[in-house]
Copies of this chain bind each other. A is one copy, B any other.
Amino acid sequence: MNYFLSCDWGTSAFRLRLVETGSGNVLTEERSDNGIAGAYQQWQQTSLPREDFFAAIINRHIDALSERTGIPLQEVPVVLSGMASSSIGMVELPYKELPFSLSGTDLAVHAFSRFIIISGARSGNDVMRGEETKAAGCAAWLPDTTQDQWLLMPGTHPKHVVVNNHQAVRFQSFMTGEFFDLLSTHSILAASVGDDGTLLNDPAALACFTEGVHAGQTENLLHAAFMVRTNQLLKKISPAHNRFYLSGLLIGTELKAVPPGMPVYLVAGPLHTPLYTLACQVLNIPVAAVIDADEALIRGQRAVLKYG
């Protein structure tokens, strides 16, 4: 098996990558805004079997990829994780209960035709879909010890996954990204929060971010969030800079969950890596490694494929 197809089907976007199995290298990819929520709605209008309907959508994308590259892909396995196993996905699968091994051997998997669907994982009171695969994809970076390691996975709903002895033993979800979106667009703070621009190298923006990170550690979030408004009103901080205060405030609040001295593995993409790296610096949280989230996903899918 020289290749596999890695499918990342989110609520509002679709991404398909052709991966060289041995090296894990991505040869080419196909993207669309054909998100799983829309696909589910379309399926509800039909009388087709659910898995067949979803498979047909993926197969059309694969055909396009095959035509574009000239590589025959009809036999290549497709690995899906995340929303594909959700209530609006290709097939709803029960969550794997914690703990699970980072080897990828004991995640819940459902095979259909050439599709391998990885289910999410749950604890007694929390759930994830997709991050369990990324966690497995981090195995190569993590020491095989009985000391806790902390996987920090930013996003709309960040996850903190605690690994011990190459087992994911605990995790928590946060709402950092969604709070940022809600507060910066739908709340009274919207007028005090401007566009990002290219301010990441602007000392004034970074000072606002740092102030926010500290406030997130020490202040009551319900109060400190209102400071986004008074920063602009009383301190005349520009909305573009003030955006970084809100970002720092929320990330600083999230990172209160990291125990002092805990080595953190940051599993993130280009949007979150600089902000979380800086927040960890400000808070003296040691970052043992920065792992690209896409690479973690592909490595995790490859691990499941190997043992599945």
**What 0/1 pattern do residues 7 to 21 of A give for CB contact below 8 A with B?**
000000000000000
- Complex CA distance for A157 and B250, rounded to whole angstroms: 19
Task: List residues 34-80 of chain A with CB under 8 A from any CB of chain B.
Answer: none
A186-B178 Cα distance, complex, nearest whole Å: 10
- Please, which residues of chain B bring their CB within 8 A of the CB of A188? 157, 175, 178
Minimum C-beta distance from A147 to chain B (A): 23
Q: A187-B182, A230-B125, A234-B127 are in contact. Are A254 and B222 (CB under 8 A)?
A: yes
Considering the complex, which residues of chain A in the window 125-150 have a beta carbon less than 8 Å from any beta carbon of chain B? 125-127
> How many residues of A are counted as interface, with CB atoms below 8 angstroms from the partner's CB atoms?
34
A157 and B226 in contact (CB under 8 A), knowing A187-B175, A233-B127, A235-B125? yes
- Interface flag for A277 (CB, 8 Å): no
Among A124, A126, A254, the one with the most B-chain Cβ atoms within 10 Å of its Cβ is A126
User: Complex formed: what's the CA distance from A157 to B226 in Å?
Assistant: 8
User: Chain B: which residue is nearest A95 at the CB level?
Assistant: B234
A175-B187, A226-B157 as given contacts; A220 in contact with B256, CB under 8 Å: yes
* Bound-complex Cα distance A125 to B228 (A): 10
Chain B residues whose C-beta falls within 8 Å of the C-beta of A179 in the assembled complex: 222, 225
Q: CA separation between A178 and B188, bound complex, in Å?
A: 8
The answer on a CB contact under 8 Å between B176 and A230 is no
Is the C-beta of A262 less than 8 angstroms from some C-beta in chain B?
no
Partner of A125, one of B222, B227, B256: B227
Q: A165 to B89: give the CA distance in the assembly, Å.
A: 62
A220 touching B122, Cβ below 8 Å: no
Cβ-neighbour of A174 out of B157, B223, B235, B250 (below 8 A): B223
A94-143 with Cβ < 8 A to chain B: 122, 124-127
CB-based contact B125/A221 at 8 Å: no
Q: List A187-210 residues whose CB lies under 8 Å from chain B.
A: 187-188
Report chain B residues within 8 Å CB of A173. Answer: 223, 226, 230
A234 to B227: give the CA distance in the assembly, Å. Answer: 35
Minimum CB–CB distance from A222 to chain B (whole Å) comes to 4
- 8 closest pairs, A vs B, by CB? A174-B222, A173-B226, A182-B182, A175-B225, A172-B223, A175-B222, A221-B221, A174-B223
* 18 A-B pairs with C-beta separation under 8 A: A125-B227, A125-B234, A125-B235, A126-B227, A126-B230, A127-B230, A127-B233, A127-B234, A157-B188, A172-B223, A173-B226, A175-B223, A179-B225, A182-B186, A182-B187, A220-B253, A220-B254, A220-B256
Known: A175-B223, A179-B222, A221-B221. 15 other contacts (CB 8 A): A122-B234, A125-B227, A125-B230, A125-B235, A126-B227, A173-B223, A175-B187, A175-B188, A175-B222, A179-B225, A182-B182, A182-B186, A182-B187, A220-B257, A221-B253
